[in-house]
A and B are shown apart, each in its own frame.
Chain A
Amino acid sequence: MAVIFELAVQGAQMLLVLLLAPLLIGFVRKVKARLVRRQGPSLIQPYRDLARLMRKEVVLADNASWLFRVTPYLIFAATWVAAALVPTFAAGLQFSWTADLIVIVALLGSARFFQALAGMDVGTSFGGIGASREVMIASLAEPAMLLIVFSLALVAGATQLSTVAAFMGSPEVGLRVSLGMSLIALVMVAIAENARIPVDNPATHLELTMVHEAMILEYSGRHLAMIELATFLKLLLYVSLISCVFLPWGLAHAGAGPKALAIGAAAYLVKLAVLAILLAVFETAVAKMRVFRVPDFLGAALMLALLGTLLLFVSRSL
Chain B
Amino acid sequence: MISIVAFLLCGPAALLGTAILAAAVSRRASATSLVYGAALAISVAVLAIVAGHLAGNPGEVSAITLPLGLPWTGARFRLDGLSAFFLVVVNLGGAVTSLYGLGYGRHESQPHRVLPFYPAFLAGMNLVVLANDAFSFLLSWEFMSLASWALVMAHHRDEANRRAGYIYLVMASFGTLALLLAFGLLAGPAGTYAFDAMRTAHPGLLTAGAVLALMLLGAGSKAGLVPLHAWLPLAHPAAPSHVSALMSGIMTKVAVYGFIRVVFDLLGAPAWWSGVVVLLIGGVTAVLGILHALMEKDLKRLLAYSTIENIGVIFASLGLALAFKANAMPSAAALAFTAALFHVLNHSFFKSLLFFGAGAVLTATGERDMEKLGGLIHRMPVTSFVFLVGCVSIAALPPFNGFASEWLVFQAILQSPELPQWGLKVIVPAVGGMLALAAALAAACFVKAFGITFLGRARSAVVGQAREVDRPSLAAMAVLAVFCLLAGILPGFVIDGLSPVTLSLIGESMPVQTAQPWLSIVPIAESRSSYNGLLVFVFITISASLAAFVIHRFASHALRRGPAWGCGFADAVPAAQYTAVSFAQPIRRVFGGFAFRARETVEMPAPGALEPARLKVDIHDVAWETFYQPISGAIDFATERLNHLQFLTIRRYLTLVFLYLVILLLVLALWP
- Asked if A and B are interacting partners, one says yes
- Residue pairs across A and B with Cβ atoms less than 8 A apart, 13 shown, are A77-B544, A107-B536, A116-B451, A117-B455, A124-B569, A136-B587, A136-B590, A139-B444, A146-B436, A160-B528, A205-B567, A292-B586, A292-B589
Interface string of A47-64 (1 = CB under 8 A from B): 000000011111111110
B425 and A158 contact, CB distance less than 8 A: no
A222 and B440 contact, CB distance less than 8 A: no
List the 7 closest pairs (A to B, CB-CB), nearest first: A128-B578, A57-B558, A123-B456, A135-B444, A77-B544, A120-B451, A136-B586
B47 in the interface (beta carbon within 8 A): no
The residues of B with any CB-CB pair to A shorter than 8 Å are 374-375, 377-378, 381, 388, 392, 395-398, 403, 407, 410-411, 413-414, 417, 422, 425-426, 429-430, 432-433, 436-437, 439-441, 443-444, 447-448, 450-452, 455-457, 518, 520, 526-532, 535-536, 539-541, 543-545, 547-548, 551, 555-556, 558-567, 569, 572, 574, 576-578, 582-587, 589-590
> Which one of A109, A129, A292 lies within 8 Å of B397 (CB-CB)?
A109
A153 in the interface (beta carbon within 8 A): yes
Assuming the contacts A131-B578, A218-B564, asked whether A157 and B455 have C-beta atoms less than 8 A apart, the reply is no
Interface centre among B414, B536, B574, B589 (most CB of A within 10 A): B536
Shortest distance between the CB of B423 and any CB in chain A (Å): 11
B457 and A123 contact, CB distance less than 8 A: yes
Stretch at the interface among A239-247, A264-272, A305-313: A305-313
A95 in the interface (beta carbon within 8 A): yes
Give A292 to B590 CA distance when docked, in angstroms: 8
Shortest distance between the CB of A150 and any CB in chain B (Å): 6
Q: Which residue of B lies closest to A53 (CB)?
A: B555
A173 in the interface (beta carbon within 8 A): no
Shortest distance between the CB of B291 and any CB in chain A (Å): 10
Bin the interface of chain A by size.
35 or more
Residues of A close to B583: CB separation below 8 A: 128, 131-132
Stretch at the interface among A19-27, A97-105, A179-187: A97-105
Residues of B close to A157: CB separation below 8 A: 528
A124 and B531 contact, CB distance less than 8 A: no
Shortest distance between the CB of A95 and any CB in chain B (Å): 7
> Which one of A74, A117, A140, A158 lies within 8 Å of B447 (CB-CB)?
A117
Contacts of A68-85 to chain B: CB distance below 8 A: 73-74, 76-78, 80-81, 84
A98 and B532 contact, CB distance less than 8 A: yes
A58 and B560 contact, CB distance less than 8 A: yes
Q: Which residue of A lies closest to B458 (CB)?
A: A123
Shortest distance between the CB of B556 and any CB in chain A (Å): 5
Give A128 to B407 CA distance when docked, in angstroms: 30
A273 in the interface (beta carbon within 8 A): no
Interface string of A272-310 (1 = CB under 8 A from B): 000000000000000000011001000000100010011
Shortest distance between the CB of B131 and any CB in chain A (Å): 39
Assuming the contacts A98-B536, A106-B398, asked whether A135 and B432 have C-beta atoms less than 8 A apart, the reply is no
A143 and B437 contact, CB distance less than 8 A: yes
Assuming the contacts A142-B436, A292-B589, asked whether A132 and B526 have C-beta atoms less than 8 A apart, the reply is no
A168 in the interface (beta carbon within 8 A): no
Give A290 to B441 CA distance when docked, in angstroms: 22
A125 and B576 contact, CB distance less than 8 A: yes
The residues of A with any CB-CB pair to B shorter than 8 Å are 54-63, 65-67, 73-74, 76-78, 80-81, 84, 95, 97-100, 102-103, 106-107, 109-110, 112-113, 116-117, 120-129, 131-133, 135-136, 138-143, 146-147, 150, 153-154, 157-160, 163, 205-206, 217-218, 221-222, 225-226, 291-292, 295, 302, 306, 309-310, 312-313
> Which one of A98, A109, A113, A120 lies within 8 Å of B456 (CB-CB)?
A120
Shortest distance between the CB of B321 and any CB in chain A (Å): 19
Give A133 to B536 CA distance when docked, in angstroms: 28
A122 and B436 contact, CB distance less than 8 A: no
Assuming the contacts A76-B544, A123-B564, A146-B436, asked whether A158 and B529 have C-beta atoms less than 8 A apart, the reply is yes
Give A217 to B410 CA distance when docked, in angstroms: 36
Assuming the contacts A123-B457, A125-B566, A125-B577, asked whether A306 and B430 have C-beta atoms less than 8 A apart, the reply is yes
Give A124 to B432 CA distance when docked, in angstroms: 37
Residues of A close to B584: CB separation below 8 A: 132
Q: Which residue of B lies closest to A306 (CB)?
A: B433
Residues of A close to B561: CB separation below 8 A: 59-62
> Which one of B425, B441, B558 lies within 8 Å of A139 (CB-CB)?
B441
Interface SS of chain A: helix
Residues of A close to B586: CB separation below 8 A: 132-133, 135-136, 291-292
Residues of B close to A143: CB separation below 8 A: 433, 436-437, 440
A122 and B456 contact, CB distance less than 8 A: yes
Give A302 to B434 CA distance when docked, in angstroms: 11
Give A291 to B589 CA distance when docked, in angstroms: 11
Assuming the contacts A57-B558, A126-B567, asked whether A73 and B548 have C-beta atoms less than 8 A apart, the reply is yes
A76 and B529 contact, CB distance less than 8 A: no
B526 and A106 contact, CB distance less than 8 A: no
Residues of A close to B417: CB separation below 8 A: 154, 312-313
Q: Which residue of A lies closest to B398 (CB)?
A: A106
Give A141 to B437 CA distance when docked, in angstroms: 9
> Which one of B425, B433, B565 lies within 8 Å of A218 (CB-CB)?
B565
A142 and B577 contact, CB distance less than 8 A: no
Assuming the contacts A76-B543, A142-B439, asked whether A310 and B429 have C-beta atoms less than 8 A apart, the reply is yes
A159 and B528 contact, CB distance less than 8 A: yes
Give A73 to B329 CA distance when docked, in angstroms: 44
Residues of A close to B520: CB separation below 8 A: 97-98
Residues of A close to B413: CB separation below 8 A: 150
Q: Which residue of B lies closest to A60 (CB)?
A: B561
Give A117 to B387 CA distance when docked, in angstroms: 13
B531 and A295 contact, CB distance less than 8 A: no
Residues of A close to B395: CB separation below 8 A: 109, 113
Shortest distance between the CB of B518 and any CB in chain A (Å): 8
> Which one of B392, B422, B589 lies within 8 Å of A113 (CB-CB)?
B392
B585 and A100 contact, CB distance less than 8 A: no
A77 and B556 contact, CB distance less than 8 A: no
In the complex, besides A132-B584, A147-B429, 11 extra interface pairs with C-beta distance below 8 angstroms are: A60-B560, A60-B562, A61-B565, A62-B563, A65-B377, A66-B381, A74-B540, A81-B539, A125-B576, A143-B436, A160-B526
> Which one of B429, B451, B529 lies within 8 Å of A309 (CB-CB)?
B429
A138 and B529 contact, CB distance less than 8 A: no
Give A163 to B544 CA distance when docked, in angstroms: 29
Assuming the contacts A60-B561, A62-B561, A123-B375, asked whether A135 and B443 have C-beta atoms less than 8 A apart, the reply is yes
Assuming the contacts A117-B450, A158-B529, A163-B527, asked whether A125 and B572 have C-beta atoms less than 8 A apart, the reply is yes
Give A131 to B447 CA distance when docked, in angstroms: 8
A73 and B562 contact, CB distance less than 8 A: no
> Which one of A56, A66, A150, A295 lies within 8 Å of B590 (CB-CB)?
A295
Shortest distance between the CB of B577 and any CB in chain A (Å): 5
Residues of A close to B529: CB separation below 8 A: 100, 102, 153, 158-160
A59 and B577 contact, CB distance less than 8 A: no
Residues of B close to A60: CB separation below 8 A: 559-562
Q: Which residue of B lies closest to A135 (CB)?
A: B444
> Which one of A76, A84, A95, A160 lies within 8 Å of B527 (CB-CB)?
A160
Q: Which residue of B lies closest to A292 (CB)?
A: B589
Shortest distance between the CB of B67 and any CB in chain A (Å): 53
B565 and A97 contact, CB distance less than 8 A: no
Residues of A close to B375: CB separation below 8 A: 63, 123
Assuming the contacts A57-B559, A113-B395, A128-B578, asked whether A67 and B441 have C-beta atoms less than 8 A apart, the reply is no
> Which one of A110, A132, A160 lies within 8 Å of B582 (CB-CB)?
A132
Shortest distance between the CB of A19 and any CB in chain B (Å): 14
> Which one of A99, A106, A123, A313 lies within 8 Å of B422 (CB-CB)?
A313
A107 and B440 contact, CB distance less than 8 A: no
Interface centre among B395, B440, B531 (most CB of A within 10 A): B440
Residues of A close to B551: CB separation below 8 A: 54, 222, 225-226
Give A77 to B544 CA distance when docked, in angstroms: 5
Assuming the contacts A132-B584, A222-B551, A295-B590, asked whether A123 and B577 have C-beta atoms less than 8 A apart, the reply is yes
Give A140 to B432 CA distance when docked, in angstroms: 14
Give A77 to B546 CA distance when docked, in angstroms: 9
Shortest distance between the CB of B520 and any CB in chain A (Å): 7
